[in-house]
Amino acid sequence: MTISTSDQLINALANGPSRIVIDKASIANQAAGGFTSLWRATGQPAQGAIPGTVPGVPTHLTAGAVAFNQQTAPATSYIGWLFATSSNSAMTLEIHDRLAHVGGLVLNVITPQAITGLDLGGGGLNLEAARRGDANFSDIQWWLEVYADGGATASNATINVTYNDSSTGNLNVIAVGGTIRAGRMFPLTPLIPAGDQGKFIRAINSVTLSASTTVAGNFGFTATRPRTAVPLALANFTQVSDFAALNLPEVPNNSCLMLLLLTSAAATGTLRGGGKIMHG
């Protein structure tokens, strides 16, 4: 059954939780005020693989995910306690469920690069409704995620998407030239044009570059569902957040919990911490 009383909460925190271990190396060449994925950072959780050109649904068993014990309904899981410290100040640690991803796209061609099957409404991904959240896809965040540096030549990317009402359209262009760096994550929701405001992205269909950046690099698209966040205001100061501060987010079975940072500097700094996923 779900945790609904203080006694159940205390018991779940104390008895049999799954441990979260965070120990990630710094990633260089980032941008202050930008998001950095720690999917490819070395340490714990282990370094995740670069996804291939066929969209996939990562799970708790995927390298790079926070492992946790699977539950039998009606029992479920929750993030109940977290602590973290960064060597940088003014950072925010976010934990997301990595729902789907694709990689292997390049930054040195101007022909459309089609993406088949990166569709949370179908397309063979078989994503559980519990992980997706609201049926209109409003709980989902979409990202352009970079796995290998591109070139310095200026270029813009036009991304064609399908919305929750099954209409299609192009997002406002995003700059991908100027040596876009591995680790960067660029949110796509702010790129929804004015005429499509109020819609939510369901699928990514293609991407077309205005010019070659001269280096192939490697990038892709990732869908995530935010679960919780911890502010890291001071360098080398351990921030502790209990279930109330975390808003006790549910973690459905198979969730691929990943880490990302809203950075304040050109490198993410080292990140260490831990926590508990409780069950009940």
pLDDT digits 0-9 by tens, 238-267: 999 999 999 999 999 999 999 999 999 999
Average pLDDT, rounded, for the chain: 96
State the virtual CA torsion across 69, 141, 57, 85 in degrees, nearest 10: -40
* pLDDT tens digits for range 90-148: 999 999 999 999 999 999 999 999 999 999 997 779 899 999 999 999 999 999 999 99
DSSP bridge pairs for 81: 276
213 vs 12, higher pLDDT: 213
Q: What pLDDT was estimated at residue 277?
A: 97
* pLDDT of the residue at 7: 81
Query: What is 243-278 written as a DSSP string?
Result: HHHHT--B--TT--EEEEEE-SSSS---EEEEEEEE
74: preceding bond cis by omega (within 30 degrees): yes
pLDDT at 179 over 80: yes
pLDDT above 90 for 228: yes
Quick check: 1 pLDDT over 60?
A: no
Residue 2, pLDDT > 80, answer no
- pLDDT of 202: 97
**234-253 as b/e: b if 16+ CB within 10 A:** eeeeebebebeebeebebbb
Q: Does an H or E element contain 129, and which?
A: helix 129-132
Residue 165 has pLDDT above 80, yes or no: yes
Question: Considering the chain, what percentage of its residues have pLDDT values greater than 70?
Answer: 100
Q: Are strands 35-37 and 184-187 parallel, antiparallel or unpaired?
A: antiparallel
- Where does the pLDDT of residue 63 fall: very low under 50, low under 70, confident under 90, or very high at 90 and above? very high
Length of the chain: 280
pTM: 0.96
Q: What phi-psi label fits residue 198: left (phi over 0), alpha (psi between -120 and 50 degrees) or beta?
A: left
How far, in Å, CA of 246 to CA of 242, rounded? 6
**The pLDDT of residue 247:** 94
